[in-house]
Chains A and B, each alone.
Chain A
Amino acid sequence: MTATQGIGSPATDKGPAIEIEIRNLSKVFGDGPRAFKALDDIQLDIRQGEFFTLLGPSGCGKTTLLRLIAGFEQPSSGLLQINGKAVAGLGPNRRPVNTVFQNYALFPHMTLAENIGFGLKMLGKSRSEVASTTQEMLKLVKMDAMADRKPAQISGGQQQRIALARALAPRPRVLLLDEPLSALDLKLRKEMQVELKRLQLETGITFVFVTHDQEEALTMSDRIAVISGGQVLQMGTPHEIYNFPAERFVADFIGDTNFIDAEIVQYEGDFAQVRLPGGVVREASLPEGFNARVGETVTVVIRPEHASLTERGDLQATVENAVFFGTDTHIHLRLEDQTPFILRRQNTGVSVAPPEAGQHACIAVAEGGIQVLRS
């Protein structure tokens, strides 16, 4: 198994069929010297029936990509296919795609049932079909008791459910979700995460989910594309993205990370032997397509929970302080070369005393816990 689903690698290896195929897609806003490249040569394959997340900070281009798929914007160049059909030039009303908007965008003058039935009505479905599907959708999102209310009469969480039902009712091939949970409070957000996952499994529809929340992305997605500066930096399962970040940005954006300079001693295939500060040589995994050179100094990533304090370790450090979080303790250290290092210790027993500040400590890194970054 390769560590990462590299950029642009065709993900067609006899897996599920491709729902959305994106090749060399760019979007430029404005022209002349004030032009802004929101998306820069994107390559992406989204598989049928998967929960795919576009993850990145605000302004990275993820929402623009969603709007291109929906048809609200047209690409400046490149190919965009949905279910094998190029959709360039088609308006949003002519694509088998529906959107759940960040602010829900429920029609305020219609009842909840009318909102849900709107798409079907526009598709010219018969009155009885509209009614029965609407009923079915209301049940699916557990809102059937409120069919005749207006959007203003229900809570934010309920509006969210109706927005979902409305977008699912026409049975689109793809459901686009634009940060749909960002307006909800933490408890409701957790509930809706479970709910979304359930709906996706029950309907089998491909979900493309946009978020800047790394936790949301990790818990819900089948695969994640990390986007920054209009480019896809890395694509892979949550496990791959978290454990084998290929770029500094990805490692930094998802979870807490330690960045340490190391020297490549030797390498073979996806793995290399690297010399850590202090001289210890350990095995590290290489990002896909990485051109390693012996003697080169690279940056490696070590996750705080993959390190522990031991008698004889891989790294020598001085304890700066320890912060108690209940379930775990974050120990802030400084390596001999002054690089800061954070270590997370699970508080499995109550008796474990935190180390004292100024104390010398040895850090051991778990097997497979070191990943080389693309510089």
Chain B
Amino acid sequence: MARDFSINRLPGFASVAILTFFLLYLPIFTLVVFSFNEAASMSRWEGFSLKWYEAAFQNRQVRDVSIRSLWLAATAASFATILATLAALGTTRTSKFKGQTMIYALINQPLMVPEIVTGVALLIFFAAIKVQTGYTGMGYLVAAHTAFCIPFAYLPIRARLETMDNTLEIAAADLYAGPIKTFVHITLPLLLPGIFAGLMLGFVISLDAVVITEFVKSAGQDTLPTYMLGQLRRVVTPEMNAIATLFLLLSVLAVTIFFVLSRKRA
């Protein structure tokens, strides 16, 4: 009789798959290749060179915005992870309560509301606060980034908690551990891979954010993506390719860590 249905036996499966990967990675491949181009051209290859990387490293502005981006991503992802951990504990380690589905929806709000809407809303909201308080620091960006990182941090943490056998916590209580000791000795160590995965995902998401940052930032608060966007409006040199390549490397690294951690079994 018929064997199990398997999609990779459909005619044309391989062709479609290869074409898709090709379309996905060709632009990125081109970007990476031209970051090593000797010439200032984005279309003509004139030989291998690292000079654009050198230029990028020497560019004080690039250094500044990179540091700001990394700092912002680390701060926002940390706050988001702490909040997401609490949210995940609250939605999985309590008895079912009314409105739980509503809570899921609310936590995941940043995934559903278009970024441009959030951006405009934050612009108006923060403007009002700025007028009232006079504060124009990084707090606004941290708050905005934290908010949209929460669902990304929440998902892997919650997934981890849901697959964790909760008789372990009951067993700890049976063995004379109070609620705090149970959390410290059992729940937290087992949750740690999920927490790190959430942290990495939040970090990448924050690092990558353009739209909301563009709306929220004050003068002199450019992050790497908004700086690049600004530069692209003027002259395009392979220096941008070099920065983008390094940026890509960092993101891939963080996402890889995320995958390794979230696949690690309890």
Show the binding face of A for B, using Cβ within 8 Å.
70-72, 91-94, 97-99, 101, 103, 105, 107-109, 118-119, 122-123, 166-167, 170
Contact (A123, B170) CB under 8 Å given A105-B165, A108-B190, A109-B189: no
Binds A, one of B38-46, B54-62, B174-182, B229-237: B174-182
Chain B: residues with Cβ within 8 Å of the partner, total of 18
| Chain A residues whose C-beta falls within 8 Å of the C-beta of B175 in the assembled complex | 93, 98, 118-119, 122, 166-167, 170
Those 10 A-B pairs whose CB atoms lie nearest each other, nearest first = A119-B175, A122-B176, A105-B171, A105-B167, A92-B173, A122-B177, A92-B174, A93-B176, A99-B174, A93-B173
The answer to whether A98 and B186 have CB atoms under 8 Å apart is: no
The answer to whether A107 and B171 have CB atoms under 8 Å apart is: yes
Secondary structure dominating the interface of B: helix
CB of B266 closer than 8 Å to a CB of A: yes
Contact (A92, B178) CB under 8 Å given A107-B186, A109-B190: no
| Chain A residues whose C-beta falls within 8 Å of the C-beta of B181 in the assembled complex | 122
B185 nearest in chain A by CB position: A118
- B179-222 contacts to A, CB under 8 A, are 181, 185-186, 189-190
The answer to whether B168 and A123 have CB atoms under 8 Å apart is: no
Q: A108-B168, A123-B176 are in contact. List 17 more A-B contacts (CB 8 A).
A: A71-B173, A72-B174, A92-B170, A92-B174, A99-B171, A103-B165, A105-B170, A107-B171, A118-B177, A118-B185, A119-B175, A122-B172, A122-B177, A166-B175, A167-B175, A170-B175, A170-B176
The answer to whether B174 and A93 have CB atoms under 8 Å apart is: yes
| Chain A residues whose C-beta falls within 8 Å of the C-beta of B177 in the assembled complex | 93, 118, 122
Q: Which of B173, B176, B181, B266 counts the most chain A CB atoms within 10 A?
A: B176
Contact with A along B134-177 (1 / 0, CB 8 A): 00000000000000000000000000000001011011111111
- What is the distance, in angstroms, from B174's C-beta to the closest C-beta of chain A? 5
| Chain A residues whose C-beta falls within 8 Å of the C-beta of B168 in the assembled complex | 105, 107-108
| Chain B residues whose C-beta falls within 8 Å of the C-beta of A94 in the assembled complex | 176
Q: How far is the CA of A101 from the CA of B178 in the complex (A)?
A: 19
| Chain B residues whose C-beta falls within 8 Å of the C-beta of A166 in the assembled complex | 175
Q: B176: which of A70, A103, A119 is its contact (CB, 8 Å)?
A: A119
Q: How far is the CA of A5 from the CA of B177 in the complex (A)?
A: 38
| Chain B residues whose C-beta falls within 8 Å of the C-beta of A107 in the assembled complex | 168, 171-172, 186
A178 nearest in chain B by CB position: B167
Q: Can you list 22 A-B contacts (CB < 8 A)?
A: A70-B174, A72-B170, A72-B174, A92-B170, A93-B173, A97-B174, A98-B174, A99-B174, A101-B170, A101-B171, A103-B165, A105-B165, A105-B171, A107-B171, A107-B172, A118-B175, A118-B177, A119-B175, A122-B175, A122-B176, A167-B174, A167-B175
| Chain B residues whose C-beta falls within 8 Å of the C-beta of A98 in the assembled complex | 174-175
Q: How far is the CA of A107 from the CA of B182 in the complex (A)?
A: 11
Q: How far is the CA of A72 from the CA of B185 in the complex (A)?
A: 19
B266 nearest in chain A by CB position: A108
- What is the distance, in angstroms, from B98's C-beta to the closest C-beta of chain A? 15
Q: How far is the CA of A322 from the CA of B190 in the complex (A)?
A: 58
Q: How far is the CA of A78 from the CA of B170 in the complex (A)?
A: 23
Q: How far is the CA of A91 from the CA of B174 in the complex (A)?
A: 8
Q: How far is the CA of A300 from the CA of B248 in the complex (A)?
A: 82
The answer to whether A118 and B172 have CB atoms under 8 Å apart is: yes
| Chain B residues whose C-beta falls within 8 Å of the C-beta of A122 in the assembled complex | 172, 175-177, 181
| Chain B residues whose C-beta falls within 8 Å of the C-beta of A70 in the assembled complex | 174
Q: How far is the CA of A141 from the CA of B174 in the complex (A)?
A: 20
The answer to whether B174 and A103 have CB atoms under 8 Å apart is: no
A94 nearest in chain B by CB position: B176
Q: How far is the CA of A93 from the CA of B169 in the complex (A)?
A: 11
Q: How far is the CA of A170 from the CA of B186 in the complex (A)?
A: 18
B176 nearest in chain A by CB position: A122
| Chain A residues whose C-beta falls within 8 Å of the C-beta of B165 in the assembled complex | 103, 105
| Chain B residues whose C-beta falls within 8 Å of the C-beta of A71 in the assembled complex | 173-174
The answer to whether A91 and B266 have CB atoms under 8 Å apart is: no
The answer to whether A93 and B178 have CB atoms under 8 Å apart is: yes
Q: How far is the CA of A70 from the CA of B168 in the complex (A)?
A: 15
| Chain A residues whose C-beta falls within 8 Å of the C-beta of B173 in the assembled complex | 71-72, 91-93
The answer to whether B170 and A103 have CB atoms under 8 Å apart is: no
| Chain A residues whose C-beta falls within 8 Å of the C-beta of B189 in the assembled complex | 109
| Chain B residues whose C-beta falls within 8 Å of the C-beta of A123 in the assembled complex | 176
B168 nearest in chain A by CB position: A105
| Chain A residues whose C-beta falls within 8 Å of the C-beta of B186 in the assembled complex | 107
| Chain B residues whose C-beta falls within 8 Å of the C-beta of A119 in the assembled complex | 175-176
Q: How far is the CA of A98 from the CA of B174 in the complex (A)?
A: 6
- What is the distance, in angstroms, from B263's C-beta to the closest C-beta of chain A? 15
| Chain B residues whose C-beta falls within 8 Å of the C-beta of A72 in the assembled complex | 170, 173-174
